[in-house]
Structure 1
């Protein structure tokens, strides 16, 4: 299954590009699913209705109902603890979604698309780039929290909890807590597997110009930090280069100046012209001229560990982390146990060190040619000594 994640700065035309991408895939014979979490259904408007093409299925997510079901089920499972605390139960009718319900609904949809549905292509109309990056990072972050709060190795002791509860005189965490954590772990792992799959790519959409360039740079850095690949950058709503109108000519010149910089910095830039109106319906989406996705996705992002060059005795290994577009002043690096906390502008990621580097100390770091290079030296107390 091929998955296209569509995002970009707010107002850049992400939904239109998602609709055009899905329609092109369906017309090429792929069984295609397009997913949107937009409550206003701008995706349906762009497609011109749910029957844009026989091979195309649209799914608009509404997290409200599933949120109510989940919270009601949690109340039932935690009934004894709630009664002990004298807590009053909430009726399903009075529940409103909490922040994060839509993001979880989107992750469920990714999981379900991979598990249960016979689609060749899945197109996901993500929120604007900053929120989209948070959604894509969520499975890895939540799985880390679960491992910290309920380590798997401690679950073996749950058989003793009823006895401990009787001795203490208060209810102890029940087995369902660990069962729920295990189920969440499975669901999050499935969503993360889709996001990180070799057949999943991100399609960035931006309107050329100073504001679009700044937002695009931040989005590209965040995606690189998450190890996600872009198959193309869509330069959207391009104005014609020749215009008798001086205002339009100046705006077009500004667009094409930014476009020239993008085509130098990015491998694959797709130009999409402005139609003079908001695209609506299959004919308009076809007129955009968006090419089909490449048959083969780009190569996976690699974070290789290499031996230090000869003569550099201060360290033994170098971890290469590609971070295109980031500047030195925006970088932060902290070692915490077996993890490395990397900050690149507004984006942050906590990654587990490769096994060999866990027995090393950080000897330094540098930014060179769009790549963060972290140097490691063996820790004499942990590294096996040669006889």
Structure 2
């Protein structure tokens, strides 16, 4: 079974049309394709396709199946995992449990629904109309964050002490956690691992969509930096609403001036994105097929571009230092927040934050300085004489 190619399409109001055109293009190339609407409360993808999407998969075109994530089902599933455990407590309090029909998904359930749907996709290509970029970055970071919380709150090592639990409870004078808590932890860890595997798979990438008149230079830099911080890199930027080349020679001076200005902005955006492909669509494509042809032609489309992992440079012989490098394209020094916390390095960039566990060699070092230059964060570590082997 071949690995699924997952494309997370995120951006402004044109993202639904780009996602639909991307999925249609993949299906026309003979690949089994699923188009999934995630975090789409206003059914914008329904309007782009001209059909009403339901939680169950439905055929749309040869080789193309469409569906949407079900937040209610995801919420009920999560609550059902602990509902039986809560019943004795509710009975003790004299409270009636909620009926399934009463349950309303809480904020954040859409992220969980998307994470649950990614590993379950049975397709050659999965195209997802993803949440806006800020929410998408938070969603992609969620499995790693939750795994870390579980390790701190319910450490796996405690499960080895089950036989000693009655003794420990007597010594501590308080009841120890019940077996169901560790069972729930095991299920949660398995689900998070599956979601994280789908997110970090080599075939998973993000495709950003922006408007030609938005001048999104700073915004795109921040989005790319946030993605890079969590180990992701866009495979392309789609600019929609690009005027045709002939508009620059229009007899209408206003239209000609606008077309030349947009052309210069597109050239500047292409240069700013460096080696990242920049694709374009017109102000209004007649059909999804026309949009797919303009975006991808007869080729397969952009390939995933995994973000480079952090690296450690050994300068012990020359400078007595180990230098930790993390590529963060577009990062601004003013947004950077860096904290050493025990064996971890907390890296903050504006609204985005990630806790990275240091490799064993760096744990025995002290931070000697840090810098951000040309989109690369470097942290210099000096060996701690009390911990470093002679």
Q: TM-score, normalised by structure 1?
A: 0.88
State how 1:122-271 maps to structure 2 within 5 Å.
Answer: 122-161=126-165, 172-241=176-245, 242=247, 243-266=250-273, 267-271=275-279
Aligned residue in 1 for 2:55: none
Residue pair 2:137, 2:227 contacting (<8 A) in 1 also: yes
Stretch moving more, 224-233 or 266-275: 266-275
- Partners of 2:278 and 2:50 in 1: how far apart? 24
| Deviation (angstroms), 1:100 | 1.1
Instruction: Please state if 1:368 is matched with 2:373.
Output: yes
- Cα offsets for 1:53-73 (capped at 9, x unmatched): 211111201211331243244
Find out whether 1:344 has 2:344 as its counterpart. no
Paired position in structure 2 for 1:317: 322
Moved more, 103-112 or 292-301: 292-301
Assess if the C-alpha contact under 8 Å between 2:366 and 2:383 holds in 1.
yes
Post-superposition offset of 1:333: 0.4
Alpha-carbon contact 1:19-1:285 (below 8 Å) kept: no
Contact conserved, 1:198 with 1:300, CA < 8 A, in 2? no
1:40 pairs with 39, 42, 54, which one?
A: 42
Q: How many residue pairs end up in the alignment?
A: 375
- Tell me the equivalent position of 1:272: 280
TM-score (norm 2): 0.87
Q: CA deviation at 1:323?
A: 0.9
Q: Which runs of 5+ in 1 are unaligned?
A: none
Q: How far apart are residue 45 of structure 1 and its match? A: 2.9
Equivalent residue for 1:305? 312
Offset at 1:162?
Answer: 5.5
CA contact (8 A) 1:39 1:62 kept: no
CA distance in 2, matches of 1:33, 1:122: 5
CA apart distance, 1:192: 0.8
Q: Displacement of 1:134 after TM fit?
A: 0.7
Gaps of 5+ in 2: 52-57
> 3-state DSSP class of the match of 2:241?
strand
In 2, the alpha carbon distance for the partners of 1:259 and 1:310 equals 47
Query: How far did 1:48 drift?
Result: 3.8
Does structure 1 residue 289 correspond to structure 2 residue 292?
no
**Which residue of the partner structure matches residue 331 of structure 2?**
326
Deviations 1:317-364 (A, max 9, x none): 111101111121111100111111111122211111122211111111
Deviates more, 1:49-58 or 1:32-41: 49-58
2:88 to 70, 77, 80: 80
Q: 1:91 to 1:240 in 2, by over 3 A?
A: same
Check conservation: 1:361, 1:376, Cα contact below 8 A: yes
Matched position secondary structure for 1:350: strand
Moved more, 70-79 or 293-302: 293-302
- Partners of 1:108 and 1:141 in 2: CA distance: 16
CA distance in 1, matches of 2:228, 2:78: 34
Whether 1:6 and 2:31 are equivalent positions in the alignment is: no
Q: 2:109 aligns with which of 97, 101, 112?
A: 101
Q: What are the Cα deviations for residues 33-61 of structure 1, in whole angstroms up to 9, with x where unaligned? A: 12112133322332344644211111201
| Cα-to-partner distance string for 1:267-298 (whole Å, 9 max, x where unaligned) | 13333232436x6x543433543345457533
For 1:199 and 1:169, the matched residues in 2 are separated by 52
* Mapped contact 1:333–1:342 kept (Cα < 8 A): yes
**Change in 2 beyond 3 A, CA 1:302/1:25:** same
Alpha-carbon distance, 1:180 to partner: 0.7
- Give distance in 2, aligned partners of 1:145 and 1:337: 16
Match of 1:64 among 58, 72, 88: 72
Contact kept, 8 Å, 1:111 with 1:187, in 2: the verdict is no
